[in-house]
Structure 1
Amino acid sequence: MTLDQLPPLRDTLAEHGLLAKKSFGQHFLLDLNITRKIARLAQVGEGDHVIEVGPGPGGLTRALLETGARVTAVEADPRFAPLLEELSAASGGALTLRLEDALTTDEAAVAAGAPAHIVSNLPYNVGTPLLIKWLTGAFTPASMTLMFQKEVADRIAAAPGTEAYGRLSVLAQATSHAQVVMDVPARAFTPPPKVASAVARLTPREDRPEPVRLTALQQVTAAAFGQRRKMLRSSLKALGGEALCLAAGLSPEARAETIDVPGFLALADAYRIRS
C-alpha cells in the first residue's frame, strides 16, 4: 500500500476505535486541504528532515510525507503506534516513530548533526513549554511551523505596547523571525476545541543571541513580566532594579510591556556584566 492508497483518516480512527484524549490536549486535524497547506507553509520538500511532535493519527504526517520529506514523529500516546507504523510502511520507511515525551526528546540527537525542521499541530497543554525549549535550548531548528491556540500564536508575534506582548514575544523575536501565517477555525478539528487556532512560522535570526546572553535574557524577562504591571525598578529589584535599568539605557519607570526586544537584550547584557 502506498500513501495515496491509504483509507481516509476518519475511517482508520473508527476502525481502531480511537478518540482524542483531553489529558493529552489532543484535537485531531483530519482535513487534508488544511494539512497540505501547513506543509506548504513549512516550505519543506524532497530530502528535508522534519520532526513532528504529537502526530496523533497522522493527518499532518501524511501531508508532510507527500512533500518527499523524511519525518521523525514524536508521539507520547502509544495508542497511535499501529496507525503510524502503517503510515511508515506506506511511505517506504520515510517515517520514523519515537514513542516518547517530546519535552525530554533530544532533538540534536534525532537530527544527528544535520538541519531539521519542526512542523507540528502541537498538543495544547505542552505547546508553550515546547516552544521555549526549542527557542532557548542547544538545538536550533532550521525552521518551525507550529499550530497553537490562536492567543499563543498572537503572543509569539506581538509588538511592544500591545496586550499580547510578553515574555514569549521577546524570546521568540530575539531568536527568530516570527509571524502568524494561517488561522485555523475550531471546526477544522475533531473534536472541535473551544478556541480558535493559528499557525506560526519561525526561522532563526542570523544575530541569534549566544547561549550565555540568552540565559540572561530568560532571567530578565521572567522577572520583568512576572510583575508586568509594576515599573521596572520594582519588577527587576532582585536583579539590580534602578541601577540595572540605567545601565541598559532604560527608564526605571517604564513597564515591561513597553520595552522592545533590543531593550530587553540591553537589560540582559547589563545583567550579565553585573552578575
Structure 2
Amino acid sequence: MSQIYQHRARKRFGQNFLHDTGVIDRIIRAITPREDEHILEIGPGQGALTESLIGSGAHVDVIEIDLDLIPILKLKFGLKPNFHLHQGDALKFDFAHLDAEPNSLRVVGNLPYNISTPLIFHLLNNAHLVSDMHFMLQKEVVERMAAKPGGGDWGRLSIMVQYHCRVEHLFNVGPGSFSPPPKVDSAIVRLVPHSELPHPAKDARALDRIVREAFNQRRKTLRNTLKNILSSQAIEAAGVDGSLRPEQLDLAAFVRLADQLADQQAVESL
C-alpha cells in the first residue's frame, strides 16, 4: 500500500486530499449511506470517503480523472462487488450510462475548486436522476449557493441552484483537514432537488439567459442590464421594477422575467 503515499496531489486537477478522520466521519453521518442505495462519488482521490460508502452496502460508482490514482483505487476496492470505477472527466461524463432510476442517484464529492461551478451546472442538467447531493466546496461557493436576495452573494449560482434544489450549508472545514492544505476554508453543502419546482419557468434556458444578462453588470439597474433582450415595458409587464438592481430580485421575479422572454421569443418565431 506504500504507493498510496507516493502519489502527489496535482495542481492541474485541483487536488486536496481529505485526511481528517473526524471530518470524514461527520460527512458520512450527514450522507447516511444505506444498503442498496446508488451512490456516485466524483473525485474519490485516495478513497477517504469511498471506504465508508462501500462499507454501507450501497452500490458505489466513482469517477476519477487522475490516471495515477486508478491503480490505487483498484488495489483498495477492486475486489468489492459493489464498487465500480470510471476513469474520466466528470464534466464530460454521461450520467445516463449509470442506468440510474429517476430520483435515485445520491451524488457525493470533494470537488476541485476550479471546476465546482461548471460541474454543478452539469449535474443540475441531470437533476431528474438525482435524489440528493453532498459536496465539499470552497466555503464562499457554498455561501453563494445558499444566499438570499439583497446581498452581494446573491447571483447566478444562487438562483440557478435554488431553482432546482433546496440548499443546506451543513458545516465548515478548515484547511488543516486536507493534504496539501488549501489556502481557503471549505464547507459541506447538501442539495436536494425539488420534487416539484416552487417557481417553474416556461423555458429554463430563458431563465438562464435572463440571469446571465442581469448579473453581467450587477451594479446597473435591470432596465440597463436587460435592455438588449427585454424592453422597459416588458420588464414592467412581468411585475418587476426596472429601476432595481438584479441582486434585489428574488427567484420568483426572475422566473417572471424569463417567462416574459419566453413568450416574446414564441411570438418572434411565428
TM-score by length of 2: 0.92
Residue 94 (structure 2) pairs with residue 106 (structure 1): yes
Residue 213 (structure 2) pairs with residue 223 (structure 1): yes
Q: Aligned letter for 1:259? A: L
Distance 1:220 1:162, change over 3 A: same
Superposed counterparts of 1:167-186, under 5 Å: 167-186=156-175
CA distance in 1, matches of 2:192, 2:215: 24
Alignment match of 2:42 (pick from 33, 38, 53): 53
How far the C-alpha of 1:210 sits from its partner, in A, is 6.2
Runs of at least 4 residues off by over 4 Å? 209-212
Residue 34 (structure 2) pairs with residue 77 (structure 1): no
Superposed counterparts of 1:1-275, under 5 Å: 13-14=4-5, 17-89=6-78, 92-113=80-101, 115-137=104-126, 139-208=128-197, 213-275=203-265
SS of residue paired to 2:112: coil
Q: Which segment drifts farther, 70-79 or 240-249? A: 240-249
Q: Aligned letter for 1:32? A: T
Q: Aligned letter for 1:235? A: T
SS of residue paired to 1:142: strand
- Is this contact kept in 2: 1:65–1:94, CA < 8 A? yes
SS of residue paired to 2:54: helix
Higher helix share: 1
How far the C-alpha of 1:109 sits from its partner, in A, is 2.2
CA distance in 2, matches of 1:162, 1:66: 42
Q: How much is the aligned-residue C-alpha RMSD, in angstroms?
A: 1.7
- Superimposed CA distance per residue, residues 38-79 of structure 1 (whole angstroms, 9 cap, x where no aligned partner): 122123211111111111111111122222222111011010
SS of residue paired to 2:86: strand
How far the C-alpha of 1:172 sits from its partner, in A, is 0.9
Q: Which segment drifts farther, 36-45 or 17-26? A: 36-45
- Identity among equivalent pairs (%): 36
How far the C-alpha of 1:93 sits from its partner, in A, is 2.0
CA distance in 1, matches of 2:203, 2:26: 36
TM-score by length of 1: 0.90
Q: How many residues align?
A: 263
